[in-house]
Structure 1
C-alpha cells in the first residue's frame, strides 16, 4: 500500500477511535438548542408529568410542550446531550424512566425500572462516562447509585446505597465530583470528590461549606469554568414569599477553607416572587447568563440575570398549571 495512503488510513482510524473515547472533558455536541425540562410534583393523573420550554431563551417564556411521562410526584430530571436521553424519577412510584428526545423536542420512552426500596427520591445526577445515575433520597439520608443504568429494566435495586450525614436534596455532578445540598437545619453543601470510588455504607465528604443566613437549602447548580455556585433556599415551607437565591463565587477556595460562607449575592424579597424555589439551572453562555428557578409554591418558572441582586423583579416569568419540582437546562 502507498505510504501516503497508509498514513492517511492510520490518521483517520486514530480520529475515529479517539472520537469514541469518552472522557469527562469531552466537549458537548454542537447545537443552538435552549430547552428547559421541568418535572412536576403533582399526583393528580390529569396533570402532565413533564413540561418542556423550547426555546427557553426566547423573547418570552410561554406555551411549553406538555408530556404525560406517567411519573406522579415527579422529582429529579436530567438530560444527557451525548445520547439524547432524558432521565426522570417519580418519588411516589419509585420509578426511574428514560426518554429519547426527538429533533422536534418531543419525548419517546426508552426504558423504565422500579426500585421499591427507593425511599424518597429527590434530585438526580448522571455520570455519562460511567453510565451511572445518582439519586438523592432525603428521608433516609442516602444516595442511591445505579451503575450501568442504561441496561436496567423491570424491578431493580441500587448498585450502591451511600449513607450520608444529613438529608440530601439537590445534587450536582461536575466530572467525578458530586456536590450534595443538605436540607433542614444543616444548611450545608457537601463535596464528594471521586464520587465513583465511594463504597457501600456510610461515606464522608471530602470538603464542605455551610451557608451563613440560610434556612433550608434545596436547589444547586455549579460551573467550574466560572468557579461559581448557585443555591436556592425555600425558607419556611409554609410560606410562599420568603425564598432566596444565593450566588457564591470563588467556590474552589471556599471549599478548601471550609467553614461558614457568606453568599456573594442574594436575590430575595417580595418583588422576586421567590416563595419555595426548589430547583435552579444556569445558562452560562456569555450572551445569556440567565438563572432559571422552579418556584413550586407559586407554580412558576422564574428567570433572573446572573448580575441581579436584592429585591429584583424577574427578567421573565412563566405561570404554570402544575407544581414544578425539578428542572434541567440544555443550553449550548
Structure 2
C-alpha cells in the first residue's frame, strides 16, 4: 500500500473482520451463522441459516447469471459478487430485509466499472476487495489481480497486478495473499501484497501439495492455523475431486523450501465416491464447529456439501448435501 496510514487501517479492519470464505470468530455469543453461495449458471444466490438444528435456505435472483466470487458485509448488509456475466463487482443491499420478506430477488445497489474479464474469486480485508482474473482469450491471456476500495456507493480501482501463475482461488491472511496456481498442485503466497504499486507481482514462495491434481478452492483459519484446499482432479470427471486439510499450517509451510513439496504425511484428505466430490471449486471453514463447506460444481450439476473435519484421511460422506445448480462460490459468516 502506498499510503502507510491507509495500509494500517486495512490491517486493523482485517483484524476486526477477515474473510474470503472462512470465519475465524471464537465469540461465545453467536447471533448469526450463515452460508452464502453463488452460481455460475442460474443467476441466483442462496443464503443458508446454519443456526437452527434443521438449517433453512432462501434463494434470490440477481443481475448476474454467472458469478464466481461472493462475500457478505454485515455492517452494510450487502452481498458482493464478482460477476462474470457483466465483468464487474456488484453490491446487493438490504439482504436481511429480503430474507425477512421472503423476497424472490435482490436489488443491485451499485457496481464497479467493467475492468476485468473472466473473474474467478474475491478476497476481502476491510474495505479492500481483490478480484482474480483468470487468463482467457477474451482478456489477452492475462492473469491479473484487481484491487478495489469499497466505498458507500461504489468500488474504486486502486491498482492491478500481473502475476506469475494461472489464477483461481485466493485468501487474505493479514497483509499476505495466498493463491492457488491453477492447472497445478501448487500453492503460492504474495507477502505484503497491498504494499506494492501496480505492475508485475512475483510470488514470495511456491510449494507443491503432494497427491493433489489441480488446485482450486482455498481458505485458511488463523485461529486454528489450518489450511483447507480443494482438488478438482480432471475437469471432465464428477467423481475424482477431494478436500485437503493441513493442520499446523504456518509451521509446515515455513519448513518447506521454496519450490518444495508438502508431503501427504502433513495432510488429512477427503477423497472417494462417498464424498460426492468431483469439481469442488470453492471452500469455507468454520473453526468453531469444525465444519467444511464446499461448492461442488460437477456432481449433480452443482451441490453444497458439508463435512466434519476428520482426524484421518478417508472416503467420508458429507453430513449435509444440498443440490444447487452451478454452485461456484461459498462464504461463511459467523458472528
- TM-score bracket for the superposition, by shorter chain length: 0.7 to 0.9
Report whether the alignment pairs 1:133 with 2:135: no
Deviations 1:247-287 (A, max 9, x none): 011211222233211242000000100010001001111xx
Aligned partner of 2:89 among 90, 96, 100: 96
SS state of the match for residue 253, structure 1? helix
Q: Give the alignment of 1:129-168 within 5 angstroms.
A: 131-139=127-135, 140-152=142-154, 158-168=157-167
Secondary structure at the aligned position of 2:16 is classed as coil
Match of 1:5 in 2: none
Deviation at 1:31, TM superposition (A): 4.3
In structure 2, what is the Cα distance between the partners aligned to 1:210 and 1:317?
Answer: 30
1:39 is the counterpart of 2:29: no
In 2, Cα distance between the equivalents of 1:133 and 1:101? Answer: 20
Q: Which runs of 5+ in 1 are unaligned?
A: 1-20
For residue 329 of structure 1, what is the aligned residue in structure 2? Answer: 332
Quote the Cα distance in structure 2 between the aligned partners of 1:303 and 1:211. 23
Within the alignment, does 1:310 sit opposite 2:303 as a pair? no
Q: Does 1:25 align with 2:15?
A: yes
Q: Deviations over 1:29-52 (max 9, x none)?
A: 96421111111000xxxx342111
Q: Which structure 2 residues correspond to residues 77-116 of structure 1 after superposition, within 5 A?
A: 77-103=70-96, 106=99, 107-115=106-114
Number of matched pairs: 296
- Corresponding residue for residue 247 of structure 1: 245
Matched, 1:183 2:187: no
- Shift in Å at residue 127 of structure 1? 1.8
Contact kept, 8 Å, 1:60 with 1:316, in 2: the verdict is no
CA distance in 1 between partners of 2:118 and 2:305 (Å): 26
Q: Which blocks of at least 5 consecutive residues in structure 2 are unaligned? A: 1-10, 18-24, 100-105, 136-141
Name the structure, 1 or 2, with higher relative contact order (CA <8 Å, separation 6+): 2
| 1:24 aligned counterpart, secondary structure | helix
Structure 1 vs Structure 2 CA RMSD: 2.2
- Following TM superposition, where does structure 1 have runs of at least 4 consecutive aligned residues deviating by more than 4 angstroms? 27-31, 148-151
- Give the drift of 1:149: 5.0
Match for residue 45 of structure 2?
A: 50
Q: Distance in 2 between matches of 1:24 and 1:102?
A: 22
Q: Which residue of 2 aligns with 1:3?
A: none
Contact (CA 8 Å) 1:239, 1:275: kept in 2 or not? yes
TM-score by length of 1: 0.82
1:290 aligned onto 2:291 = yes
Confirm or deny: 8 A CA contact 1:240 1:297 kept in the other structure.
Answer: yes
Instruction: Supply the distance in 1 between the matched residues of 2:277 and 2:146 (Cα, whole angstroms).
Output: 30
Q: CA deviation at 1:145?
A: 1.0
Report the equivalent of 2:69. 76
Q: Is the 8 A contact 2:295 2:303 kept in 1?
A: yes
Q: Secondary structure at the match of 1:135?
A: strand
